[in-house]
Amino acid sequence: MYYLKPYERMILLVILLAATCFYVSFWWKRRRLVELSKDVPSWSNYLPLVGHAHRFIGDTTRRPVSTIVDKNVGKMKLVILNDWQIKQWEIANDVGICKKRVNEIINEYLVKTNVSARWIPKMLTPFNG
């Protein structure tokens, strides 16, 4: 029998562990896909699971829903118009979305900026001082 040197044994062990981890994760993801796709035709059970954003339910693939919709933008506009000194976390609690999306909607969709703790339109120039 061929005797392996210590570093050769270590390399072989690393290769075997990497292959084992790969196969375990592959079959675990495939098992989750099969559990999620009970009503889908049998050929779809062999599709690979692509990321965590896809879920096979029925015949449709569902993706995460965006919180930036016209309804939320309108709610935020009304909240800001009612109280110019409102804080972002208060808006997030009122509308029911995260603070990061509140900031994005205010800056990009409502085109407002925070100057001296008030939300005002971004039309400030050196001339209207």
3-state SS class at 115: strand
The answer on 108 and 78 residing in a single domain is yes
- Token pair, residue 38, equals 């009970």
Q: What is the residue type of 112?
A: K
Look-up of token digits 């900026």: 113
In a domain, 126, yes or no: no
d(CA 16, CA 24): 12
Task: Let me know if residue 34 belongs to a domain.
Answer: yes
CA distance 26 to 125: 57
Cβ atoms of residues 45 and 33 within 8 Å? yes
Q: Are residues 82 and 109 in the same domain?
A: yes
Is residue 27 one of the residues assigned to a domain?
A: yes
| Co-location of 10 and 57 in the same domain | yes
Give Cβ neighbours of residue 10 (< 8 Å, ≥ 6 apart): none
- The answer to the question of residue 128 being in a domain is no
Is the pLDDT score of 58 beyond 60?
A: no
pLDDT in tens, 9-37: 888 888 887 877 777 777 666 666 655 55
Tell me phi and psi for residue 95, to 5 degrees.
-85, -35
Same domain, 76 and 49: no
Does residue 113 belong to any structural domain of this protein? Answer: yes
Number of domains in the chain: 2
Rounded to two decimals, what is the model's pTM? 0.41
Residues 31, 10 share a domain: yes
Structural domain for 24, as ranges: 6-62
